[in-house]
Amino acid sequence: MRNEQIRNVAIIAHVDHGKTTLVDQIIKQAHILRDNEAFQDCLLDSNDLERERGITILSKNISVNYNGIKINIIDTPGHSDFGGQVERVLNLADGVLLLVDAAEGPMPQTRFVLDKALELNLKPIVVINKVDKPDARCDEVHNMVFDLFVELEADDDQLDFPVLYASGRDGWAVADMNDPRDSIKALMDAIIKYIPGPPVHEGPVQMQATTLDYSDYVGRIGIGRVYRGNLNLKTPMSIIKRDGTVRPVQLKELHTFEGLGRVKKENIPCGDLCAIVGIPDIDIGDTLADRETPEALPLIALDEPTLSMTFRVNDSPFFGKDGKFVTSRQIRERLLKETERDVALRVEENGGDAFIVSGRGVLHLSILIENMRREGFELTVAQPRVILHTHHGKKEEPIEILTVDVPDEYAGKAIELIGQRRGEMLRMDQHGIRKSLAFHIPTRGLIGLRSKLMTATAGEAIVSHRFVHYGPYAGEIATRNNGVLISMGNGPSVAFAIDALQQRGTFFIDPGVECYEGMIVGEHCLDKDLLVNIQKAKQLTNMRASGSDRAMKIAPAQKQSLEEALEYIAADELVEVTPHNIRLRKRWLTENERKRMKRTAAGED
C-alpha cells in the first residue's frame, strides 16, 4: 500500500549542472510565493556564500502542491566535499531527478550519487539540462547516461528510465524536443507518473533523523521521514541512539514542509517528511519510536573526515585590530556550535589555544573559516593535512578519483602535472577538440593542484574529484617548488621597494599595505626563502642627475582567495584570517626564531 497523496523526490547532479535553477522554476511556476513577494534567482541558496560561489552547500527541502498531490523536493549539494549529505538525504526519497549537463555529460559526482540512488532502489528520472547551450549533444549524453546505468549494474526497471530535456534558466522541460517549450509541466507530470508514493507501513511509529538543523532559540532540530505509523505530538516516544541506548523523550513541536517554509502540525502521516523540536541531543541516524515498542531502524553511515587543519588564536602583531572574537574560548565555542549542525566535522582540542578541525576537504573547511571571518572572528590556520590510517601495520591514505577536461593542446601539461602528484591515469576519452582524463590520485596530491592546472591550461581545465577509498601510502609529494619573500620589518609597503624587488619574484601585496616582520609578501623566483626590506623608501637628496630617475612599472599583485592561500602555504607557514584581511605569514615571525626551530627539528631527527 502506498500514500498516493505524497511524492518524495531528490534532485541529484554534479556541481553547477543546474539543480537550484531548476528548483527556482518549480517554485515560480507553482506560485509558492505571494504576488507581493520579490523573486530572486537561486532562491534556495539562502546562505551568502552559496550565492557568491553559485554552489549548494546545505541540503534543503521544499514542498509543492501539484494537482492535489504534495511533492517534497530535496535540493542536494553537488560538490564532493558535501557528498555525505547527499548519501543521507537520499534515504528521505522514493525517486530521484538526475540532472546531467547537455554538453559536459555525466561527471564524477554524477556517478557517485547515482550509484547511491540505485543501491537504495530509487526510481530515476533523467533530465538532460541546458539543452540550449551551443555545444549541447543531447543524444550522445543520453547514451553516456545509459552506459553509466549499465556500469553501475542497474536492474531492468531502473534501465527503463524516462528522459526529459530542459532549460532550467528559461523555465521549460519537455519529453520530446518537438513539444512546445513553455513550462515545466512535463517534469511535474513525470514526477507524478513515474515516482511512486511512499509505502505505508502500519504499526507503532518509527521516524529516523537524516539531517540536522540548528536554531539559537530551540537548539537542534532533527529532520527525517516517518517510516511507519503516524507521528503524533501527544504520543509517548522514546529515542534510540547510535550506541543502542533507549530513553523516553517528549516532543515539543512537529513541523511539516509547505512551500519554502515549515508549518506546525499535530500529526505527520506515514511517508511524509518532518522536522522535530524538543530533543537537544538528537543526532544523525537516531530513531524515534513508540515508547511501548521501541524498535531501531538501520543505522545511517556517517562520513569519515579525510583532511584536518589546526585552528589557532591569532598571535600576529595585528592581533585584535580587525576582529570582535579573538580568544581561544570564543573560537572553541564557535567550532563546537558548528559540530551541532555539521556531523561531517570533528573538533579536538590541541593544547590551550589550538584546535584540530577535521572535514571532508579543503572546500568543506574553508567554508567554515569564511563564515567565521564574516561573523567577526580572528584566527590563524595551518596547512591542510590528510588523515592517515594504519591497516595491517601499513600506512594508508585517502585516494580520490580526479577527472580533468582540457583542450587537446593542454592534455600533455595536465598529465605531467598530475603525474608529479602521484596520479595514475585510468582512462583518456576524446570529446571533439577536448580530452577527458581520469586519474586515481592521493588526496595530498590534490592540495594546490587546481590552481597549477588552471595556470598550465590558460584557465580552460574543468577539474572535479571525489573520495573513493583508502589505499597504500604513495610516498613523498613535492607541492611547492618556490620559496617566499618575507618582510623583515614593520610598516607599510613602499612602491619604490616593490619596484626594485620585482626581479626577485611575484608579489602578493600592493604598495601601501601594512606589513609586519615575518609576513609573507610574495613568492621567490628560487627554491629558498628570501628576507626583503619592503619598507625601504627612495633616498631624497637635493642632488639630481638627468636620466637617473625612471618611471616605476609595478606589476599588479597576485591576490589569493582563502582556498588558494590554504593550499599554497608550507608546513612552517600559517594563514592569518580576519574579517577584512587574509594574510600569509611564517609560523615563527623573527629570523632568529626560525633558525632556532630549524636547529631543534634537525636535532630531533
pLDDT tens digits, residue range 172-192?
Answer: 888 888 888 888 888 888 888
Check residue 548 and give its pLDDT. Answer: 54
At 235, is the pLDDT very low, low, confident or very high (cuts 50, 70, 90)?
A: confident
pLDDT digits (tens, 9 = 90+) for 554-588: 888 888 888 888 888 888 889 999 999 889 999 99
Q: What's the mean pLDDT in 85-91?
A: 72
CA distances in angstroms from 475 to 179, 397, 425, 442, listed in the order given: 57, 10, 17, 10
Check residue 85 and give its pLDDT. Answer: 62
Count of beta carbons in the 10 Å neighbourhood of residue 348:
12
Q: Cα angle vertex 57, ends 358, 271, to 5°?
A: 105
Lowest mean per-residue pLDDT among 257-261, 366-370, 395-399: 257-261
Check residue 59 and give its pLDDT. Answer: 58
CB 80 within 8 A of CB 466: yes
CB 596 within 8 A of CB 603: no
Check residue 569 and give its pLDDT. Answer: 87
Check residue 86 and give its pLDDT. Answer: 66
CB 399 within 8 A of CB 471: yes
Q: How far apart are CA 331 and CA 377, in angstroms?
A: 8
Check residue 380 and give its pLDDT. Answer: 92
- pLDDT at residue 420 is higher than 80: yes
Copy the grid coordinates of residue 427.
Answer: 582512462
pLDDT digits (tens, 9 = 90+) for 328-372: 899 888 888 888 777 778 888 887 788 999 887 787 888 888 888
Check residue 46 and give its pLDDT. Answer: 44
Mean pLDDT of the chain: 81
- pLDDT at residue 462 is higher than 50: yes
Check residue 151 and give its pLDDT. Answer: 84
Check residue 170 and give its pLDDT. Answer: 83
Q: How far apart are CA 169 and CA 20, in angstroms?
A: 10
Check residue 41 and give its pLDDT. Answer: 42
Q: Where are the alpha helices (DSSP H) in 326-361?
A: 328-341
Q: What is the chain's alpha carbon radius of gyration, rounded to the nearest angstrom?
A: 27
Q: How far apart are CA 177 and CA 184, in angstroms?
A: 13
Lowest mean per-residue pLDDT among 43-57, 236-250, 514-528: 43-57
Paired sense of beta strands 123-129 and 219-228, if any: unpaired
Question: In 3-state terms, what secondary structure has residue 252?
Answer: coil
Check residue 36 and give its pLDDT. Answer: 39
pLDDT digits (tens, 9 = 90+) for 6-56: 888 888 876 665 667 777 777 777 664 344 344 344 434 344 544 444 444
CA distances in angstroms from 265 to 65, 272, 367, 543, listed in the order given: 17, 12, 34, 86
Check residue 390 and give its pLDDT. Answer: 85
Check residue 53 and give its pLDDT. Answer: 46
Share of the chain above pLDDT 70, in %: 89
At 547, is the pLDDT very low, low, confident or very high (cuts 50, 70, 90)?
A: low
Comparing 86 with 307, the larger pLDDT belongs to 307
**Sign of the CA dihedral with 261 first, then 211, 110, and 189 last:** negative
Check residue 87 and give its pLDDT. Answer: 66
Comparing 432 with 46, the larger pLDDT belongs to 432
Share of the chain above pLDDT 90, in %: 3
Q: Give me the DSSP letters along 113-162.
A: HHHHHHHTTPEEEEEEE-TTSTT--HHHHHHHHHHHHHHTT--HHHHS--
- pLDDT at residue 71 is higher than 60: yes
